[in-house]
Amino acid sequence: MKVTYQALTDVGRKRKGNEDSLFVNAEQKLFVVADGMGGHAAGEIASSIAVDSINEFVCLTGGDEEITWPFGLDETISYDGNRLKTAVRFANKKVLEATKEKSEYEGMATTVCAVLVDDAVANLAHVGDSRVYLMRDGELSQLTSDHSWVNEQILSGVISPEQARSHPLRNVVTRALGGKADLQVDMQAHEIEAGDVLLLCSDGLTTMIPDDEIARVMRESGGDIEKAAQALVDAANAKGGEDNITVLLLKFEE
Ligand code: CA
């Protein structure tokens, strides 16, 4: 399966800096979005350490060399699934180490959503509230489930998704890289079909525009991912652009 991509990040309308990081390694078919948190530009550091470390580990395991798996192997998932899962845990270790290096890095953390493509299988890893969506036959579905306080409340039936959108605690993430050493990474593997589009994004998109609007914008772009990426960023800015907006679109073709 051939994959093409379009990546775009925008500071938005309210923030001074951009704490999101996006990363593509076309050769390894690795695609990552990370949304950093922390004062004094530390969020930016956290998200960039995360994407660099994920890439480092994925590259290390992309060849024939025998390598040591720092957290062991998970027998329930594929080799590429293991590469990606371990890469995220390795990145967590790197972010944690950095938090101890300088006092201004203390408490910094980052979300991650990452895709590693192996022919017609998309391996997905995520931690935090950055999301992955699948657009198939004009229908949009959210593949990831946010590790956030409001999502936990939704899942336990305490609040509705509509209430979550305006909830004062909507930005509270319950799982992130840089939090604790024993990080749980949610893994998925999806069979990809020709015509599928995957969207990786930071919450600067999804807190500004609801899913039905994301779907509408993507449908209107008629499969042109360059147009879709720009239209999504424009739509989030039009609604206020309160946070950094990052979108990474992957299009699959025979
Ligand atoms: Ca954000």
CA distance 243 to 254: 36
Domain that holds residue 32: 2-141+172-253
How far, in Å, from the CA of 194 to the mean position of ligand 1? 31
- Provide the pLDDT confidence category of residue 218 given band limits of 50, 70 and 90: very high
> Mean pLDDT in the chain?
96
Report the CATH number that the domain containing residue 203 is assigned in CATH: 3.60.40.10
Residues contacting 203, CB < 8 A, separation 6+: 35, 111, 129, 130, 131, 171, 243
For residue 105, what is the DSSP state?
G
The answer to whether residue 149 sits within a structural domain is no
In the predicted structure, residue 177 carries a pLDDT above the cut 90: yes
The answer to whether residue 157 sits within a structural domain is no
The pLDDT of residue 108 is: 96
How far, in Å, from the CA of 204 to the mean position of ligand 1? 5
The answer to whether residue 153 sits within a structural domain is no
Find the mean pLDDT for residues 208-232: 96
CA distance 76 to 73: 9
Amino acid sitting at position 140: L
Sign, Cα dihedral of 94, 96, 102, 107:
positive
How far, in Å, from the CA of 252 to the mean position of ligand 1? 27
How far, in Å, from the CA of 76 to the mean position of ligand 1? 32
**Residues 235-252 pLDDT 10s:** 999 999 999 999 999 999
Overall domain count for the chain: 1
In the predicted structure, residue 39 carries a pLDDT above the cut 90: no
How far, in Å, from the CA of 245 to the mean position of ligand 1? 7
The answer to whether residue 146 sits within a structural domain is no
The answer to whether residue 230 sits within a structural domain is yes
Residue whose structure tokens are 């990552």? 32
How far, in Å, from the CA of 23 to the mean position of ligand 1? 16
